[in-house]
Chains A and B, each alone.
Chain A
Amino acid sequence: MSKYILRRLLMMIPVLLGVTFLVFFIISLTPGDVASMILGNGATQESIIALREEMGLNDPTIVQYGSYMKDLLTGDMGNSYSTGKAVSGEIAQRFPNTLKLTVSAIILSVLISIPIGVISATRQYSLFDNIGMIVALVGISMPSFWVGLILIIAFSLNLGWFPSGGMEGIMSLILPAFTLAIASTASITRTTRSSMLEVVRQDYINTAKAKGVSRSVVIRKHALKNALIPAITVIGLEFGVLLGGAVLTETVFSWPGIGRLMVESIQRKDTPMILGCIIVFAIAFSLVNLLIDILYSFIDPRIKANYK
């Protein structure tokens, strides 16, 4: 098992190399000159040329990439083009905020979606099932910025229960976490339901029932445990998506997360900051995936046997 984990961790290195390489070249292909962007409208042509030279922007992209990677290996992610601050420091400030938001959202959606998914499956086509699935469909379909604004209008403006934005205390976390949780709740619910439906039709469930095992034990121990694998896969994917994709929610709720930081950096063509954010996303995504794979082995011993 530990060998397996080590191998997976080592595999992150080529992933990171690939990701940084791709992003670096895509940014270099986008229009807009970094030096003139830094210097602003009033800059003279000479000062732009001088700064380009100083920043090494005239070198071929591959050379620039090489020098970036050289610094990166020593732990130096460079300084932001637009603020001049160290990228690593800025990310260290912003990433925990996003993590806080994402973890709360995922916990919230797991707590809601698994029970609903299970009940829907065990009472297929019942009123509960129909409502559950329609609500899930609506949940998937609603854009998060719209949900966010509606929640703000209802719960901040009219009821005054929660702050409308910012990051001060637990109360300010509730609305954005809920907004973020809605879409993932919907998809986890649907996955749980369909995989439960598959499992409850298996022979061993009938066997268990025939042996006289109580209904709740059949559902919890025999069915749910086996139905969880696809659900966990989806949870892992959703978690990864939320880590990088909370941009709209972070914007609507003025949450100082890393998603917003990245989008703002892209608008400013702030290459070191964009790369920093992407690297953090890639690491986070890989780690979450690894965690999910390890979780599988606890749920299904057959999978554990494969981890050598």
Chain B
Amino acid sequence: MKKLLSLLMIMALVIGTMAGCSSPAPEATTDQTGTETAATDEVAVKKEELKIALAADITSLDPQGHNDTKSERVSFLLFNRLFRLNTDFEVVPDLAESWEQPSDTEWVIKIKEGVMFHDGTEMKASDVKYSLERSLTMPKVQHVLADVASVEVMDDYTVKITTNIPFAPFLYTLVHAGASIVPEAYATSGDEFANPIGSGPYTFAEWVSGDRVALVKNENYFDADNMGQMSKILFKVIPEGTSRTIALETGEVDVVDELPSNDVSKVEEAADLTMYASASTRIDYLGMNTQKAPFDNQTVRQAFNYAVDKESVMLVAIDGTGVPTASILAPSMLGYKASDYDYNPEKAMELLAQAGYPDGFEMTLWASGDQRKRMAEVIQANLMEVGITATIEMLEWGTYIDSLMAGEGQAFVMGWTSNPDPDSTLTPLYYSGSVGGMNFTRIEDTKVDELIMAGRAEMDLNKRVEIYNELHAYGMDQAPLVPLFTKNNLVGANAGLSGVELSPQGLWNIEKITY
């Protein structure tokens, strides 16, 4: 017995020492700042390499072979598109020198002269034609330019693109990585983009699958104002959130894309680190199946918009690192208009009584994954206050999507990340033709359909905004969903860096970052 006691004491000692190691002792911190200053001294000589942590590996070096934001980070440095987005999501020219619209369906675009690919050949209009046509044949991005009918070469530096219909967001489609311009000679050489040749501010060095992607500055970049700043950029794949933060703290990486929300305060408090955030284009919402009772009743859906406390949901789901939203799209989207719903349980009960449910009702609330489960739990508590008993059912992701497409759910927690143009969200989410697809709330409304169609054909920006304003107001009156919050893009970076920019899609203009 005595032996056992002494043993336990030894164990306690061992664990105590371990815990001592894990809580950052003051000495350790001074030590760290010490090494940091040493590092900053070296900066005078100039740090050559920028290391960026990515949450997942890229899927392809072919700009038209992927459709995810991680691969985009790399593609945007290796390739150019005719247009690009600035941090405010406005379309600005990239390769395009000038452009005009002879008719509603025709776009004549002149590219800059003297743009060199990394292999030293000059970009010609034929490369543009080839690239845009190739995009239509590539599975992952064929939807991007789906409205292009034909591309004609006018002269060495001019192309004419014809669209199937008058399509207002057309320039927005040209900023997608899928509309990158690749050299025809290289793309047809059979290398399959193992050693990609582009025209961007950085050239390709190596890709070690699952580990890293290395790029080197392109000294002959055509755009002197947007030259790469660091001589090398290394993307390191660090799938675990906590490990990413630690790598930033130890200085193994300089920038962390997708910082875990529970590490935000840690980065904010660290003197040698800076926290960056921007509202994303994502919207997380509580969806209601408008074709199933009791949610086929508009008043019930409106009552739900008063019953849910968005602030609490956001706090529990993402540690408060976002903004509550009040409409069918994220606030950063063109034509956003907030609705008047506020958190008001009394009003919700009033509406429920009006709808014929003075004593509430029982319902099932679907969710999938950890974060959505937490959201569902807060919503469940909110609903309890207005007399509604919600049972949470957890589904595996694949089953979840399939069942929602089939319209089997009653109410569910979902999210949607939008492309820059609102049409790319409005059509899949709210158009009647998307029922059976991503229109999980199964809203089929002629007025919504008309407004969506009008919005995508309207070339006048102001008029387009008006149409979307109306759609937002009408959509929230129909209330197929309770918009909850828009997540922030979270980027942590070394405080010694300048030029760190974020757009609603996260880390942006990486070529501008420098020590």
* Interface, chain A (partner B; CB < 8 A): 30-33, 38-45, 47, 51, 82-85, 90, 93-94, 97, 127, 130-131, 134, 138, 145, 149-150, 152-154, 156-160, 163-167, 251-254, 256-257, 260-261, 264, 269
- Report if B120 contacts A (CB, 8 A): no
Query: Nearest CB to that of A33 among chain B residues?
Result: B402
Residues of A within 8 A of B22 (CB): 150, 153-154, 158
14 further interface pairs, Cβ-Cβ under 8 Å (given A160-B32, A164-B243, A254-B237): A31-B401, A38-B139, A47-B142, A83-B59, A84-B62, A84-B65, A127-B6, A163-B250, A163-B252, A164-B247, A165-B243, A256-B210, A264-B57, A269-B398
Given contacts A30-B398, A165-B243, contact A158 B208 (CB under 8 A): no
* Shortest beta-carbon distance from A268 to chain B in Å: 9
Residues of A within 8 A of B25 (CB): 158
CB-based contact B140/A39 at 8 Å: yes
**Cα distance A157–B249 when bound, in Å?**
7
- Max chain B Cβ within 10 angstroms of own Cβ: one of A42, A152, A167: A42
Residues of B within 8 A of A261 (CB): 209-210
Given contacts A30-B398, A131-B10, contact A44 B143 (CB under 8 A): yes
- Identify which of residues 1-42 in chain B touch chain A, using a CB-to-CB cut-off of 8 Å: 3-4, 6-7, 10-11, 18, 21-22, 24-25, 28, 31-32, 35
8 Å CB contact of B402 from A31, A83, A93: A31
CB-based contact A157/B246 at 8 Å: yes
**Cα distance A44–B242 when bound, in Å?**
38
CB-based contact A43/B143 at 8 Å: yes
List 3 tightest A-B contacts by C-beta distance, closest first: A256-B210, A32-B398, A42-B143
Interface pairs (9), CB distance under 8 Å:
A31-B402, A39-B140, A40-B143, A41-B438, A42-B143, A42-B424, A154-B22, A160-B35, A164-B252
**Cα distance A282–B64 when bound, in Å?**
35
Given contacts A84-B65, A93-B208, A261-B210, contact A152 B7 (CB under 8 A): no
CB-based contact A130/B7 at 8 Å: yes
- Identify which of residues 170-226 in chain B touch chain A, using a CB-to-CB cut-off of 8 Å: 192, 208-212
- Report if B269 contacts A (CB, 8 A): no
CB-based contact A84/B144 at 8 Å: no
- Identify which of residues 54-104 in chain B touch chain A, using a CB-to-CB cut-off of 8 Å: 56-57, 59-60, 62, 65, 67
- Max chain B Cβ within 10 angstroms of own Cβ: one of A40, A93, A252, A254: A254
**Cα distance A252–B250 when bound, in Å?**
15
Residues of A within 8 A of B3 (CB): 127, 130
**Cα distance A251–B244 when bound, in Å?**
11
8 Å CB contact of B398 from A31, A131, A134: A31
- Report if B428 contacts A (CB, 8 A): yes
Residues of A within 8 A of B438 (CB): 41
Residues of B within 8 A of A41 (CB): 428, 438
Residues of A within 8 A of B10 (CB): 131
Residues of A within 8 A of B247 (CB): 164-165
Residues of B within 8 A of A33 (CB): 402
Residues of A within 8 A of B250 (CB): 156-157, 160, 163-164
**Cα distance A223–B192 when bound, in Å?**
60
**Cα distance A124–B440 when bound, in Å?**
65
- Report if B240 contacts A (CB, 8 A): yes
CB-based contact A254/B240 at 8 Å: yes
- Report if B239 contacts A (CB, 8 A): yes
CB-based contact A252/B398 at 8 Å: no
**Cα distance A145–B243 when bound, in Å?**
11
Query: Nearest CB to that of B27 among chain A residues?
Result: A158
**Cα distance A39–B178 when bound, in Å?**
12
* Shortest beta-carbon distance from B170 to chain A in Å: 15
Residues of B within 8 A of A38 (CB): 139-140
- Report if B313 contacts A (CB, 8 A): no
Residues of B within 8 A of A157 (CB): 24, 246, 249-250
**Cα distance A256–B210 when bound, in Å?**
5
**Cα distance A95–B246 when bound, in Å?**
26
- Report if B446 contacts A (CB, 8 A): no
CB-based contact B428/A42 at 8 Å: yes
8 Å CB contact of A131 from B7, B59, B140: B7
CB-based contact B437/A45 at 8 Å: yes
* Shortest beta-carbon distance from B91 to chain A in Å: 18
Residues of B within 8 A of A42 (CB): 143-144, 419, 424, 428
**Cα distance A261–B424 when bound, in Å?**
31
**Cα distance A153–B20 when bound, in Å?**
11
- Report if B124 contacts A (CB, 8 A): no
Residues of A within 8 A of B428 (CB): 41-42
CB-based contact B246/A164 at 8 Å: yes
* Shortest beta-carbon distance from B328 to chain A in Å: 16
* Shortest beta-carbon distance from A82 to chain B in Å: 6
